[in-house]
Structures are given as C-alpha cells and as structure tokens.
C-alpha cells in the first residue's frame, strides 16, 4: 500500500475514513461537478427551506445589511468562502451596486462547476463589478486573504456551511479567519436555527431523492477518481435528526455484506450488512449557541438578521479587542 503522504489529499482522506470505526467520508468531497449541479437542485427543493429563508432575509433586509456592511463608508471587499453558484449573494451585490457602493467580490470555491456557474451569472448581470473568483480549498486560501487594512473586508460564509463543522472545528476555523482580519473587517455567517425536527429531517431526505443522489455521488466520484468499484445499488441514503444534540446526520447504509476495491489505495474494504458510513453533520443552533461560538472564537455579534419564521439567522460578527 502507498504511504498516505504519497496519496492525493482526497485519497488520503478516503483511506482514513474507510479505515475508521465507524467508517466515514468527508462532506467536503461532495462537490465535484455533478455534486455541485445536484446541490443547485437541492437548493430549489421545497423541503430545503434553508435557501428560501436566507433568500428572504437578503430580499427583505438588504438595506439593513448594506448599512451594517458599509458602516458610513461605501467601500468594502466581499470575500465569499464556499460561494456555490452565488444566487443569494447576487441579491446583495445588486442592491450594493444600486447604492453606488465601491465593492469588489472574490468568490472562493473548491468546485470549478460552481465557480463557472457563478462567473457566468455575475458577468452577465453585473458587467461593472470587479470580481476575482478563486478555485481552491478555503482552508488553503485563507492566509492569502490578509491585506494591509486599507479597505474593509466583509467575509461571507453563507448557506449554513458552518453546520457541517463540529464545534471544535468551527472555533478553529473562526480563529484562523480572525488572523487574516483587520479590526474594521466583518464576518457574515448563515446559521440554521433549531426548529421542529420533522421539518429538519425532510430537508435532508427529500421526496424526490435528490439528497440521496447527492450523497451517493461521492461513491461515484471515488469510483472515477480513485479507481473504486462501489456498486451504488447496494447502498441507501439515510438521514436522521438527533434532538439532544440539535444535529442532522446523513449516512450511506450497505444493504448486504460486500467488498469494495479502491485501486488508488491498493486496498479492499469490507462492508457488513446494514453497516453505516457517516457522511455529514448539519448542526442546528440556538441564539445562545451562536453567542458562545462567537465569544469563544474572539468575535462579538454586531447584528443578527432573521427570516419571518425564525428558521434561520444571518449573524454579522466583528472582532473583539
Ligand atoms: C452548502 S454549499 C453552500 C453554497 C453557498 N454558500 C450558498 O449558500 O448557496 C457549500 C459550498 O462550499 C463549497 N466548499 C465546500 N467545502 C469547501 C472547501 N473546503 N473549500 C472551498 N469550498 C468548499 C462547495 O463546493 C459548495 O459550493
């Protein structure tokens, strides 16, 4: 077997995840071209309320968001981590440009498909917008975001992306962001709030099976990129909500005992009948959880924006001293 150091990061992470007990795969790898296309489909599903709620906040409170971002100066740089297709951000950008803001927009995403869709849309809609799309892992790109402090940076982390991190990972991530921020910079984060668990579970197990295809697509990606032989007919997508931890979790369940060979790892993995592979966590928050997360990461909440159902919160943070 190749040592992990000689494998691509993807291969190394798959090796690590499928060698663990229980087995797991990282949701960061969902977003190949097909994964990004499927995620755009998920965002249009009636059950996936998260997108509709954040869109409502942006559509109805754009002026309040603008006032908070601009803070008496119309000049700022928007940097979006995990931008996806940028559909919701376009609502903000459109308003900021109408208000004659002097802005630049730097979307960062690991998926070329997502960045292409975003760039095509933004170039057509906002020909005068200065844009610098960057493809890559935002953990790697972070350090290069440090600037001299001349222009205010507003970092965007939308779509409840943060929910896919554990609390410990969230604090480390925000502390890393803090290191590249100047005192005047801001961080704008989309949090999915706690609500009726039935509503939450439906968002991760939709009636049309799009979320199932989205999860199963990671097995197809392993087959294609790492020479795996996963047979998708042997797997089912399964989503639950753990009300004591306020988190949705998704799994792929193996229907039968079988082996899967992955050539790039020179390994065969055995899956038992009904064995689960953990795929993704989607944490749901209360306001006190958001407050303590901000405090533990070195931030203070400047302003919160809620949708009319109080399902979702976009929280604007500033650095503490
Ligand atoms: C849940 S989607 C949210 C998209 C967008 N922010 C929205 O609200 O619609 C997550 C996005 O983050 C990207 N992504 C996930 N992990 C990433 C990483 N480590 N670095 C850069 N982009 C990442 C994915 O490709 C995907 O487009």
pLDDT tens per residue, range 84-124: 999 999 999 999 999 999 999 999 998 888 899 999 999 99
* Whether residue 314 has pLDDT greater than 50: yes
* Whether residue 44 has pLDDT greater than 90: yes
CA of residue 108 to ligand 1 center, whole Å: 8
Over the stretch 285-307, which tens digit does the pLDDT of each residue have? Answer: 999 999 999 999 999 999 999 99
Question: pLDDT-based confidence at 163, cuts 50/70/90?
Answer: very high
Q: Do 312 and 192 form a contact (C-beta atoms < 8 A)? A: yes
Q: Cis omega (within 30 of 0) on the bond before 129?
A: no
Q: Which two tokens stand for residue 321?
A: 């001293």
Residues 6+ apart with CB under 8 A from 149: 182, 183, 184
Instruction: Indicate the burial class of 215 (C-beta count within 10 angstroms; 0-12, 13-18, 19 or more).
Output: buried
Q: Which two tokens stand for residue 34?
A: 């097909």
SS3 of 227-239 = CECCCHHHEEEEE
Q: Do 103 and 77 form a contact (C-beta atoms < 8 A)? A: yes
Q: Which of ligand 1's atoms lies nearest the C-alpha of 82?
A: 12
Q: What share of the chain is helix, strand, coil (3-state, %, to 5)?
A: 45, 25, 30
Question: pLDDT-based confidence at 7, cuts 50/70/90?
Answer: low
Question: pLDDT-based confidence at 149, cuts 50/70/90?
Answer: low
Q: Using a 6 Å cutoff on CB, does residue 84 contact ligand 1?
A: yes
Using alpha carbons, list the distances in angstroms from residue 227 to 76, 166, 221, 252, 256.
Answer: 45, 30, 9, 19, 21
Average pLDDT of the chain, as a whole number: 94
CA-closest residue to ligand 1 atom 3: 159
Question: pLDDT-based confidence at 150, cuts 50/70/90?
Answer: confident
Q: Using a 6 Å cutoff on CB, does residue 86 contact ligand 1?
A: no
Distance between CA 231 and CA 251 in Å, rounded?
16
Q: Which two tokens stand for residue 46?
A: 């009636």
- Average pLDDT of span 244-250: 98
CA of residue 82 to ligand 1 center, whole Å: 3
Using alpha carbons, list the distances in angstroms from residue 248 to 44, 212, 224, 245, 305.
Answer: 20, 14, 28, 9, 23
Q: What is the pTM of this model?
A: 0.94
* Whether residue 321 has pLDDT greater than 80: no
């Amino acid at each position: 077997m190749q040592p992990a150091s000689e494998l691509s990061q993807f291969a190394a992470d798959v090796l690590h995840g499928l060698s663990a007990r229980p087995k797991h795969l990282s949701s960061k790898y969902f977003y190949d071209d097909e994964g990004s296309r499927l995620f755009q489909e998920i965002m249009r599903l009636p059950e996936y309320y998260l997108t509709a709620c954040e869109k409502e906040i942006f559509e109805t409170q754009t002026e309040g968001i603008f006032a908070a971002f601009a803070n008496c100066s119309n000049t700022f740089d928007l940097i979006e981590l995990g931008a996806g297709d940028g559909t919701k951000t376009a609502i903000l950008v459109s308003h900021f440009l109408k208000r004659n803001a002097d802005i630049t927009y730097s979307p960062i995403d690991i998926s070329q498909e997502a960045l292409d869709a975003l760039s095509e849309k933004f170039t057509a809609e906002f020909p005068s917008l200065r844009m610098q799309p960057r493809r890559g892992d935002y953990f790697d790109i972070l350090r290069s975001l440090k600037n001299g402090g001349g222009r205010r940076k507003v970092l965007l982390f939308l779509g409840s992306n943060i929910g896919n991190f554990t609390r410990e990972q969230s604090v480390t991530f925000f502390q890393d962001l803090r290191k590249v921020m100047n005192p005047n910079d801001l961080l704008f984060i989309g949090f999915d709030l706690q609500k009726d668990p039935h509503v939450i579970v439906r968002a991760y197990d939709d009636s049309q099976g799009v979320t199932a295809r989205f999860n199963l697509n990671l097995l197809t990606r392993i087959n294609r990129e790492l020479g795996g032989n996963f047979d998708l007919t042997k797997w089912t997508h399964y989503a639950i909500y753990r009300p004591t931890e306020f988190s949705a979790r998704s799994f792929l369940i193996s229907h039968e005992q079988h082996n899967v060979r992955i050539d790039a790892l020179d390994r065969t993995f055995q899956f038992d009948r009904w064995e689960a592979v953990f795929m993704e966590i989607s944490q749901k928050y209360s306001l006190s959880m958001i407050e303590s997360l901000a405090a533990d990461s070195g931030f203070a909440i400047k302003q919160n924006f809620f949708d009319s159902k109080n399902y979702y919160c976009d929280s604007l943070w500033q650095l503490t001293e």
